[in-house]
Amino acid sequence: DGGITQSPKYLFRKEGQNVTLSCEQNLNHDAMYWYRQDPGQGLRLIYYSQIVNDFQKGDIAEGYSVSREKKESFPLTVTSAQKNPTAFYLCASSIERQGIYNEQFFGPGTRLTVL
């Protein structure tokens, strides 16, 4: 069954702590993305990766970091530098970022709450 998985579903962070959100896909997609969703707002792009070992900042990358060591995996680390990290985080993938196969498919999300 192909798809995108995210874990954990819920995550709680203490002040000053770094946390890592997992995103795995078995769709054989080259491109992967991280978005943040806040109530009443559209999704905002944090980071994206078009290929293994390469990633680019999105609109709101400050306080976040990513890695892309494997095609299937694109973990997101929320660092202590992110001042307002409480949000719903969504991972997505597409066959390619550019071109006609750029339709994005989303995972189930991780809700991060700062205690």
Residue ranges binding other proteins (CB under 8 A): 4, 6, 40-45, 88, 90, 92, 97-98, 100, 102-109, 111
8 Å CB contact between 5 and 73:
no
Sign of CA dihedral 1, 106, 28, 68: negative
- Which residue number, 23 or 78, has a Cβ lying nearer to other proteins? 23
Residue 16: CB minimum distance to other proteins, A: 27
- Which residue number, 72 or 96, has a Cβ lying nearer to other proteins? 96
Residue 9: CB minimum distance to other proteins, A: 9
Instruction: Determine the Cα–Cα distance for residues 87 and 85; give it in Å rounded to an integer.
Output: 6
Instruction: Determine the Cα–Cα distance for residues 25 and 9; give it in Å rounded to an integer.
Output: 16
Side by side, the strands of the sheet bearing 76-78 are 4-7, 19-25, 76-78, 64-66
Sign of CA dihedral 38, 85, 108, 31: positive
Residue 80: CB minimum distance to other proteins, A: 26
- Which residue number, 18 or 56, has a Cβ lying nearer to other proteins? 56
- Which residue number, 11 or 43, has a Cβ lying nearer to other proteins? 43
Residue 31: CB minimum distance to other proteins, A: 9
